[in-house]
Chains A and B, each alone.
Chain A
Amino acid sequence: MPNPSRASRSPRLSRRTFIRGGVSAFTLSFAAPAFLSDIAQAQGARARNLVVVYLAGGNDALSTVVPYQDPFYYSRRPTIAVPAGQVLQIGSDSAGRALGLHPRLTGLNEIFKAGRLAVIQRTGYANSSRSHFQGSDIWGTGDPALKVSDGWLGRYLATLPDDALLGWSATQELPRALSSRDVSVPAIPNAATYAFASPNVGAEAVRERTAATAIASHLPDDRPQLAFVNRTAQSAFATLDRVASVATYGGTVTYPNNGFATALRTVAGAIVRGVGTRVFWVQTGGYDTHSGQGAAGGGAYATLMSTLGDGLLAFYNDLRNQGALNDTLVLQFSEFGRRITENGSNGTDHGAGAVMMALGGGVRGGIYGTAASLDPAPSNPTLENGGGDVTYQTDFRSVYAKVLDDWLGASSPGVLGGDFRVGAPPIV
Chain B
Amino acid sequence: MAVDHEHLGHVLRRAGFGASAAELSALDGMSTFEALAYVLNVDDQPDDVDSKIGQPDYINVTARGPFSPDSVIDDARQRWLFRMVHSRRPLQEKMALFWHNHFATAYSKIAGTFGTIQGAKMLALKEGALPGPQGQIETFREKGLGSFRDLLVEVARDPAMLVWLDGRTNTRQRPQENFGREVMELFTLGVGHYVEEDVYAAARVFTGWNLRLVGDPNTTAGYYEFAYVPGNHDTTAKTFTFPIYSDGSKTIPARAASAGMQDGIDFLTALATHPATAERLARRMWNFFVSEVIPPDPEYLRGAASIYFGNDTRIKPLVQYTLQSRWFQNPGNWHSRYAWPAEFAVRAVKEVGFLGFSVDNMRAPLTAMGQTLFEPPDVAGWELAQGWFSTGAMLSRMNFAATIAANQRFNLASAAASAKDSPDTFVQYFLDRLTPAPFDAESLDTMKAYLVDGGPWTGATAQLQTKGAGLARLIVGSAQYQVM
Contact = CB atoms under 8 A, between A and B. Distances in A.
Interface of A: 1, 3-6, 8-10, 12-13, 16-17, 132-133, 164, 172-174, 184-188, 193-200, 203-204, 207-208, 210-212, 214-216, 218, 220, 223-230, 232-233, 235-236, 239-240, 288, 290-291
A10 B74 contact: no
B454 interface: yes
Contacts of B403: 13, 16, 197
Contacts of A226: 437, 479-480, 483
B398 A211 contact: no
Interface string B368-404: 1010100001111000001001111111001100110
A277 to B, nearest CB: 13
Interface in B77-131: 77, 108, 112-113
A225 B402 contact: no
Contacts of B293: 224-225
A225 B338 contact: yes
A316 to B, nearest CB: 27
Contact of A187 (B77, B393, B442, B470): B393
A199 B482 contact: no
Given A187-B390, A199-B473, A211-B453, A216 B364 contact: no
Contacts of B447: 211, 215
B474 interface: yes
A115 B418 CA distance: 73
Interface of B: 62, 73-74, 77, 108, 112-113, 292-293, 335-336, 338, 358, 360-361, 363-368, 370, 372, 377-380, 386, 389-395, 398-399, 402-403, 405-406, 409, 437, 439-440, 442-443, 446-447, 449-450, 453-454, 466, 469-470, 472-474, 477-480, 482-483
Contacts, number: 167
B391 A230 contact: no
Nearest to A184: B391
A199 B409 contact: yes
Given A164-B391, A214-B446, A200 B470 contact: yes
A423 B368 CA distance: 41
Nearest to A345: B113
A197 B449 CA distance: 20
17 contacts: A5-B77, A133-B380, A172-B367, A172-B368, A187-B393, A199-B406, A200-B469, A204-B466, A204-B470, A208-B450, A214-B443, A226-B480, A229-B483, A232-B389, A232-B390, A233-B398, A236-B392
A232 B370 contact: no
B398 A197 contact: yes
Please provide the 8 A-B residue pairs with the shortest distance between their CB atoms, ordered closest to farther: A199-B406, A229-B479, A199-B469, A197-B402, A197-B399, A211-B450, A186-B391, A187-B392
A288 B386 CA distance: 30
B480 A207 contact: no
Given A199-B402, A212-B474, A235 B391 contact: yes
Given A186-B392, A220-B440, A12 B361 contact: yes
B392 A212 contact: no
Contact of A212 (B112, B338, B377, B477): B477
Given A187-B391, A211-B474, A233-B479, 10 more contacts: A1-B108, A8-B363, A16-B406, A172-B368, A187-B393, A199-B469, A199-B472, A204-B470, A212-B478, A235-B391
Contacts of A196: 395, 398-399
Contacts of B74: 4-5, 8
B398 A212 contact: yes
Given A6-B367, A197-B403, A215-B443, A225 B483 contact: yes
B338 A17 contact: no
A10 B361 CA distance: 7
- Most interface-central of A3, A12, A203, A233 (chain B CB within 10 A): A233
Contacts of A172: 367-368, 370, 392
B392 A194 contact: yes
Contact of B479 (A16, A208, A230): A230
Contacts of B437: 223, 226
B394 A232 contact: yes
Contacts of B365: 13
Nearest to A204: B466
A173 B450 contact: no
A224 B409 CA distance: 33
Contact of A10 (B358, B405, B469, B478): B358
B483 A186 contact: no
Nearest to A187: B392
A194 B399 CA distance: 10
B8 to A, nearest CB: 22
Given A16-B403, A17-B406, A184-B391, A236 B367 contact: no
A132 B73 CA distance: 24
A187 B380 CA distance: 21
A232 B391 contact: yes
B71 to A, nearest CB: 15
B364 A13 contact: yes
A223 B363 CA distance: 31
A357 B393 CA distance: 31
A196 B392 CA distance: 11
Contact of B367 (A5, A218, A225, A230): A5
A10 B476 CA distance: 22
A198 B364 contact: no
A174 B469 contact: no
A16 B386 contact: no
A185 B386 CA distance: 14
A244 B393 CA distance: 17
A172 B366 CA distance: 11
